[in-house]
Amino acid sequence: MPKGVPAVLPNDGLTTRQRRNQPILAVHTGEGKGKSTAAFGMALRAWNQGFDIGVFQFVKSAKWKVGEEAAFRALGQVHEETGAGGAVEWHKMGEGWSWARKSGSEDDHAAAALEGWREIARRLRNQTHRFYVLDEFTYPLKWGWIDTTEVVQTLLDRPGNQHVVITGRDAPQALIDAADLVTGMTKVKHPMDTGRKGQRGIEW
């Protein structure tokens, strides 16, 4: 796509403007760092355009202090006080299940994740937000907690011009096939390879 010009123009009967304004389903997957970071970068652009932002995190613990959350909550406050940008909602879905197992059985966590997805599906039907980040949403799909076929169909059937970005490793092939934009993050080097733990300003 040299200089942002598509290599091929489909014979779909749409004008350039119509094609340009179609909603995007994006998937950021792969083993490398930066999947969520890239999604929040897109959300920042969406906020600047005045889009209503909805962020839904499926894996990060409710106790973790995520830097992007603080920044976007502040941007939401800016919108409320000045009208600049767009409204922001930030939700840690289900039980905030993380790599450190919390109390409750796997069935409990699965039920909580499914409840979170049901809420997102309801919002998509109602066109509640213009831009959605479903952060680390691939994991409950991989674990079978949420039905991938249902998710894909709901996303494909979403009305209006709602953009959705999904992050996480091991994205199901059906989700990849349905997406308009897929990026695979590839790890070349990582500080953890040499025993260095995550640090503030980089990981959070």
C-alpha to C-alpha distance for 16 and 36, rounded to whole angstroms: 30
pLDDT one digit per residue (tens) for the chain, 204 residues: 556 677 777 777 777 776 777 999 999 999 999 999 999 999 999 999 999 999 999 876 555 567 899 999 999 999 999 999 999 999 987 555 443 445 566 777 888 889 999 999 999 999 999 999 999 999 999 999 999 999 999 999 999 999 999 999 999 999 999 999 999 999 889 888 888 887 877 777
Q: What angle do CA 157, 88, 163 make, to 5 degrees?
A: 25
Q: CA gyration radius for the chain?
A: 18
Contact (Cβ atoms closer than 8 angstroms) between residue 57 and residue 168: no
Domain ranges across the chain:
27-165
Residue 111: per-residue pLDDT: 87
pTM, full prediction: 0.89
Amino acid at 199: Q
**Strand 163-167, strand 181-184: pairing:** unpaired
Q: Which residues of 102-116 are buried (b: 16+ CB within 10 A; e: fewer)?
A: eeeeeeebbebbbeb
- Tell me, which fold does domain 27-165 have in CATH? Rossmann fold (3.40.50)
DSSP reduced 3-state for 157: coil
DSSP assigned state of 197? P
Q: Please, how many CA atoms are within 13 Å of residue 129, restricted to the half-sphere of its CB?
A: 26
73 to 63, 66, 86, 112, 167: CA distances (angstroms): 16, 11, 11, 24, 20
